Amino acid sequence: MNSISTEKLDIAYDDALIVKALDMNIPHGKISSIIGPNGCGKSTVLKAVGRILKPKTGLVYLSGEDIRDLSTKEIAKKMAILPQTPTAPSGLTVSELVAYGRFPHQKGFGKLTPEDKKIVNWALSVTKLTEFENREVDTLSGGQRQRVWIAMALAQQTDLILLDEPTTYLDLAHQLEILELLYDLNRKQNVTIVMVLHDLNLAARFSDYMIAIRDGKIVTHGSPEKVMTSESLKDTFSIDAEIVLEPRTGRPICLTYNLVNSSSKESPPQKEDIAV
């Protein structure tokens, strides 16, 4: 079963066609990562799937339903999407922002019910934000703010979360913190995760399924072992990569690489070769 499918999807900005005839399937209950060079259409695909951007032609299916037949509120009950750099209104507290996730489920004037409050508290607990619930969001660190947005998505109680580069601007420790949180949500809460990532090694480490895109088209897709190969990365990024298995996880990682079309094939001089 697929959480998301696209059929002959064309996506354009004005007259510039970015994504061309895209047929893509996102498996249900898995962590999927979309990788590819800058400007290849990764974020554009995510926006079209999340109905932020209207495709030029083609279809998007959400759990088998044509997304055009669903209301905005119906979609918000099924799917949460977090853009690359979300911003919260100044002065908003953590619990207030997380409570926004209950909007698709509210009626009338939108007052939080006891059930809403219970779900908000649960989302804060799962993301380890309970101690910060009364803090203003803009006083938190980058990693903490990202957790708040994920908590808001959890409060929507959707089976699917789309994230556009969730580790952008975060240091190494906070990158791992966010990805381990998403991994736990997938494994323990059965939330389907789809994310755009620039770091190939993190994508391979945390993903069950990867999609490599170049020039708006899928180059290859499948398990990290299938996608993280020298041949696939050459086709996707124009790099000559050396792939090894990471000793802690057994997942493939890119150890080093050169540009395929580099004019200089010589290695940098070693320390012992440099006259002092």
d(CA 31, CA 185): 10
Average pLDDT, the chain: 90
d(CA 77, CA 106): 11
Residues of the chain above pLDDT 70, percent: 93
Q: Is pLDDT at 276 greater than 80 in this prediction?
A: no
Q: By residue range, what is the domain housing residue 101?
A: 2-274
Kindly report the CATH number assigned to the domain that includes residue 43.
3.40.50.300
d(CA 146, CA 211): 24
Mean pLDDT, range 203-216, rounded to an integer: 96
Query: pLDDT tens, 244-253?
Result: 999 999 999 9
pLDDT at 14: 85
Query: pLDDT tens, 91-131?
Result: 999 999 999 999 888 876 668 899 999 999 999 999 999 99
Predicted confidence band of residue 139 (pLDDT cuts 50, 70, 90) = very high
The domain total for the chain is: 1
pLDDT at 31: 98
Among 262, 207, 216, residue whose Cα is nearest residue 236: 216
d(CA 128, CA 180): 13
pLDDT at 226: 97
